[in-house]
Structure 1
Amino acid sequence: MKKRIVLVLLVAAAWFFFIRDTPARWKGIPAPRQPVQSSAGLPAAFRNGEYTIKPLAKYQITAVVLRGERYRFAPLSDLCPLDLALGWGPMSTAYAINGLKITQHGRFYFYSWKNEAPLEPEQIAQNSANTHCLPADAKIRSQLLAVKRHELVTLEGYLVEASTPDGGTWRSSLTRDDTEGGACEILWVTSVSRKKL
């Protein structure tokens, strides 16, 4: 009997800490601005280990972390150990976030709702993105891996195309209104700042 009670308590604790989504509780729009992108003054392509990194645009984003997914053994995980699903504008509001089920899998970000979407589907798509985060150095990597769900983050760097030794390429989206495969931002991150909401 005691063993059964202990097992039930362990399952309940696991559900509380790892499965249950804590609701967003802030007011207002913490990330009101669209990401800023520019193609002026880009550096030349450079090597990072076995990869060639070609900057396509300067990029700065301030957004709420909707969810994060760590990759340790997946392809390209040495280059990109973390994806962050980010929301700005109406997708940074507690109302929108609490009205959606948000998941990540296989380098994609997914959202769904039960009865009625908290925003028009076009607004959700145009104000959120799955961002593949490529840290520029070990310090940035540590900062990125410390980012938590529902924090307000500002990331700066370059949207890039990464080329692999076998000739493959992984190219960032350069617009915010695309969806499906190829719609993710691939960000070479040179600066990270975080704020609790």
Structure 2
Amino acid sequence: MLIRRLIIAVAGLLALWMLWVIVLPDANRLPSGVSTSTGTWRVGENNLRALQAFSLKARVLRRENYYFDRGAKLSPTDLALGWGPMADPQVLRHISISQRNRWYFWRAEHLPIERRQIEIHSANMHLIPANAEVAKTLAELKTDQQIQLSGQLVSVEGDDGYRWVSSLSREDIGEGACELIWVEQLVVLP
């Protein structure tokens, strides 16, 4: 019993430390006077460039936090999101959702809707919080919540040569199909 409490306490402290060290120091990231719709800006050792405006109302299908990969300091959380038919609980009860290594996976014994409808109405999205309020909301999100987010699809170029580029289409699948979003606004819907 004591060991279990100790493990829970250590896990809680680790989660708070990760929020404090990784997310919050860079949470107010956008330098004043920089327009994300027309420009580039720096976050840590990276240049971000706005590619196009983005907004979405969706259901959180699953979330995965990242701490140690190259993108974790910019994007600590990926959300698997569903909209349209992929936001319908009657459809989702037939689909198993998982995430790992910045990928989103789904599986169904019997497809409740056409495969293509699943592909174009759900996606794994890499979220970069633009401010402390977005970072806090993102850290508290849970599966099945309805959200509305808006911001910019971006590309990232690190000083070390690292590149990460958002997809600009909801019709693509596979490698490179995820959205990389500078999230300026994130709201949980009732």
> Which range, TM-score by smaller chain?
0.7 to 0.9
Report the counterpart of residue 100 of structure 1 in structure 2.
Answer: 95
Q: For residue 166 of structure 2, what is the aligned residue in structure 1? A: 172
Aligned mates of 1:161, 1:127 — CA distance in 2: 23
CA distance in 1, matches of 2:187, 2:119: 24
Q: CA RMSD in A?
A: 1.6
Counterpart CA distance in 1 for 2:189 and 2:122 is: 18
How far apart are 1:113 and its partner, in Å? Answer: 0.8
The match for 1:127 is: 121
Structure-1 residue corresponding to 2:178: 184
> Equivalent of 1:159, from 153, 157, 171?
153
The CA deviation string for residues 105-135 of structure 1, in whole angstroms up to 9 with x for no partner, is 0000000012x11111100000011010000
Q: Which has the larger radius of gyration?
A: 1
> Aligned letter for 2:174?
E
Cα distance in 2 for residues equivalent to 1:153 and 1:86: 9
Shift of residue 61 of structure 1?
0.4
- Of residues 64, 79, 86, the one that matches 1:84 is 79
The match for 1:146 among 109, 133, 140 is 140
Partners in 2 of 1:139 and 1:76 — Cα distance?
Answer: 20
Please state how far the C-alpha of 1:82 moved relative to its aligned partner: 0.2
Runs of 4+ in 1 over 3 A off after TM superposition: none
Structure number with higher helix proportion? 2
**How many Å separate the matches in 1 of 2:41 and 2:95?**
39
Is 1:60 aligned with 2:45? no
Partner of residue 24, structure 1: none
Number of corresponding residues = 157
Name stretches of at least 5 consecutive residues in structure 2 with no aligned partner. 5-35
Letter matched to residue 144 of structure 2: H
Alpha-carbon distance in 2 for matches of 1:62, 1:127: 11
In the alignment, which of 107, 110, 114 is matched to residue 112 of structure 1?
A: 107
Instruction: Summarize deviations over 1:70-89 as a string: whole Å, max 9, x none.
Output: 11122210100000000001
Instruction: Return 5+ residue gaps in structure 1 as ranges.
Output: 4-9, 11-40
Deviation track 1:46-79 (CA, whole Å, cap 9, x = no partner) reads: 1111111000000000000000001112221010
Identity %: 37
Q: Distance in 1 between matches of 2:163 and 2:67?
A: 20
**Residue number in structure 2 paired with 1:21:** none
Within the candidate set 44, 49, 55, 2:44 is matched to: 49
2:70 equivalent in structure 1: 75
Displacement of 1:43 in angstroms is: 2.2
The residue matched to 1:77 in structure 2 has which SS? coil
